[in-house]
Chain A
Amino acid sequence: MTDIRSVSPTLVQKAGQIACRACGHELAAAGEGWKEHAVLDEKPLGDAGGAMFRSEGNVLLRRFYCPSCGTTLDAETALPGEPFLIDRVDWS
């Protein structure tokens, strides 16, 4: 039986892999960036969040989806060109 450890409300670690909590799809090896293996939906926040989010700024809303089941795994705001925020849980 494989240990399943929590990484976030949407992600788990099992058998050395980061996986979608909802469907179990494996995204990346533990310790590697998983966001590069998710579906990235990046658009101006004003287009994603509704009228109240429209502003003079050029901030983007990035949403990371599970490529298997479409669950939202994480979201972050960023200016164009910013690297992804990196969150790591060390279960070693």
Chain B
Amino acid sequence: MDPMTFSIIRHRLFRIIDEAVITLKHVSGSAITNEGHDLMVSLYRADGSLLMGGVGFLHHLTSAAEACKSIIRRFEGRIREGDVFLLNDPYTAALHTSDIYLVAPIHFEGKLIAWSACFVHVYDIGAMNPGGFSPQSVDIYTEGFSSPGIKIVDQGEMVQDVVDTILNMVRSPEMVMLDLRSMIACNNVARERMQALAAKYGSDTVDAAGSELISQSETLLRARLQELPNGSWQSRQYLDVNGETATVRLTMTKTGDRLVFDFTGSSEQSRHAINCTKWASLGGLFAPLFPLLCYDITWNEGVIRPVEMIAPEGSIVNCTRPAPVSVATVAAIQSVNNAACATIGKMLAASDRYRGQATTVWHANHFAIFKFGRNQKGGQSIGIFTETFAGAGGARSFADGVDIGGEIPNPISRMANVETVEANFPIRYLFRRRMKDSGGPGLWRGGSGGELAVVPHKAPDGGIHYVISGKGARHPMSDGLAGGFPGAPNKYAWVKSEDGADVVPEDAAAGGDPVSWGVFPLMGKDALYVRWNGGGGFGDPLERTPDHVVADIGNDLVSVEAARDVYGVAVDGKGALDAQATQDLRSRRRAARIGREAAR
């Protein structure tokens, strides 16, 4: 194929996905989609293999490929132009039931030429707890509607009885319908643009370009792996849930142009909904692999071929039915993602050539808190605190992590503004801000996480309730690199009003009773306080330039105490650097490390 045509088709595929994402956001009415960007759109070849991975949550690129393949197997001979299939069974391909895949075949001149697939986290899926994350569920049967594949649009016509049946099982069916319509619209746009591409260049040419693109990606990734050192790197992640601790263990081995992710030794599957299936684990490890190793390589099937995963059956990373998985995306999947990010970061950092591409672990611990109840307008509202998508960047070998800098697995994640939340829920923010001392200390500091506190406001029922799947309050999860510290752990607290007085911001940040797992009230004058983790640090904190630490103090990102105790930096009463005291402090610390007196 001539390189010009190849290049044009490649760029058109990128643009088709962009346009489909815009459509999805414009039609959806859900903050988790529009504001949090908890979504994904990708294109797949006629056999279901990944053709062009899109933006959004990258965990889904490989899982949606399996969804396409599963639909191809299940509906063989019954796949027609204009069909749309729904799949959300985690034991078939999905990550958890509330992340619904809508998968649509793309035909041209009567021939199946490709698939488009997208997901959003729907408003509700009818699980025990509202919103999709269902910490009180004990098995998949209590995690809401779940389908291994069902046709909801038949040759362009909505299969209304099927859709009505689904809507009959969820809370806020009108919002879920909007979610479904947004995904149908998204797939329609992808189909129309792909058909236009085929009309212009011919479907065989488009398919040949796709095939060449996949070969190109495979060749480029294998070449990159050859440039990196052979070796093996380990990581572990602790998942605390309801007083119990589970562990995800990873050994990543790179040999030649192959990469093996081995999760042997990870905990057995949990009775809590933190597990994930093997397709979810595969997605979890690819989420950091795509941006960290393939930042200049097209994300498609070619990237998948050099990679192997070993995930013991019955473990937390490859659970067996009917283990509950509703919290998976913020639990085992995220830990798989974190562990893979850590080991890939170590591998890159081991290479003089690629060290600049290495990163510590970013925002490693989502706090999934869905608030629900009657709102100030008399209607029912369900919605996540999208601050969980705000995240924190990991430090690099040459720079600090970005404060409130998002997360690795979703390059377009963001949070809703405060006013949007307050307009839709009967709550008021006491504050939302960067969290001092949350970024992992290091030569380069991890990006700061954040903190927020909310109270009921104009609530017709005196307040609302919230579902919390809170982990990471006992163990930090954003690992550092090369001696850098992890980011600070999360905190979730129920701050109770004393004698009916308003909770003031200082009290909200200082105290409260821990909450982590289940459904809790936010009533009267009580407050909910949440702190989310910072990114991991890179290198030794004692080697951080003192001026940078002083600047951090001035920006309220590092306390004077942490500057002294962790970074070995002293400031005077006005916050200016005390150079001599700093030098003395650091000399003593270094000497203490090797058990000898300081030189001076």
Residues of A within 8 A of B (CB): 5-10, 39, 41, 45, 48-53, 55-57, 59, 61, 63-79, 82, 85-91
Contacts and interface: CB of A to CB of B under 8 A. Distances in A.
Interface string B467-493: 000000111100111111110110100
26 contacts: A8-B482, A10-B483, A39-B594, A49-B486, A50-B437, A50-B441, A50-B559, A50-B566, A51-B437, A52-B437, A57-B238, A57-B240, A59-B238, A59-B474, A61-B485, A65-B593, A65-B594, A66-B594, A68-B594, A69-B590, A70-B590, A74-B483, A79-B245, A87-B233, A88-B231, A90-B230
B56 interface: no
B232 to A, nearest CB: 5
B231 A55 contact: no
A64 B491 CA distance: 28
B313 interface: no
A45 B533 CA distance: 14
Nearest to A78: B236
A9 B540 contact: no
Given A6-B350, A57-B489, A79 B230 contact: no
Say whether chain B's binding surface is mostly helix, strand, loop, or mixed: loop
Given A55-B491, A87-B234, 13 more contacts: A5-B229, A6-B355, A8-B482, A45-B486, A52-B488, A57-B474, A69-B590, A70-B590, A70-B591, A75-B480, A79-B238, A79-B475, A86-B234
A32 B539 CA distance: 23
Contact of A74 (B230, B473, B482): B482
Contacts, number: 134
Contacts of A69: 590, 594
B545 interface: no
Contact of B231 (A9, A39, A87): A87
Interface string B414-444: 0000000000000000000001111001000
Interface in B328-383: 346, 349-352, 355
Given A57-B474, A87-B231, A90-B231, A49 B594 contact: no
B297 to A, nearest CB: 23
Contacts of B240: 57
A70 B593 contact: yes
Contact of A72 (B229, B483, B514): B483
A85 to B, nearest CB: 4
B212 interface: no
A73 B350 contact: no
A6 B229 contact: yes
A27 to B, nearest CB: 13
Contacts of A67: 594
A73 B483 contact: yes
A77 B444 CA distance: 18
